[in-house]
């Protein structure tokens, strides 16, 4: 699941990536355009409820491809991503659009 909130830094939005704790893994990493697809630089942490969580401060108005990497070997998608885009490996990447919902509605008016 994705959630977004305004950052205190101008032009940035905090995007939180959540994976339910019921999904078993030794480790989960967030991999995407925002970290040049580095497989280990963005590990999820467990919150107090046992869910997997990571937050990134990203530039507003951009789109980023991403995927989850479970235990260094199994790629998974975010089923509640903003969009999905076919990748060069014959599968799909999840896409997060870095904007707040009320901003998107304002822009469409």
% residues pLDDT > 90 (the chain): 91
Q: 101 pLDDT band (50/70/90 cuts)?
A: confident
Are the C-beta atoms of residues 96 and 56 closer than 8 Å to each other?
A: no
pLDDT digits (tens, 9 = 90+) for 34-66: 999 999 999 999 999 999 999 999 999 999 999
pTM for this model (two decimals): 0.88
Are 31 and 65 contacting, i.e. CB atoms less than 8 angstroms apart?
no
Domains and CATH numbers, the chain: 2-108 (2.60.40.10)
DSSP 51: -
What average pLDDT does this structure show over 64-80? Answer: 97
């Amino acid at each position: 699941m994705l959630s977004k909130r305004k950052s205190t830094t101008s032009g940035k939005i905090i995007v939180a990536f959540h994976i339910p704790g019921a999904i078993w893994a030794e480790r989960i990493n967030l991999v995407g355009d925002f970290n040049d697809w580095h497989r280990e630089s963005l590990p999820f942490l467990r919150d107090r409820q046992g869910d997997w969580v990571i937050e990134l401060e990203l530039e507003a108005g951009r789109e980023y491809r991403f995927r989850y990497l479970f235990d260094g070997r199994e790629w998974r998608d975010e089923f509640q991503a903003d969009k999905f885009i076919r990748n060069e490996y014959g599968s799909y990447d999840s896409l997060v659009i870095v904007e707040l919902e009320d901003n998107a509605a304002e822009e469409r008016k």
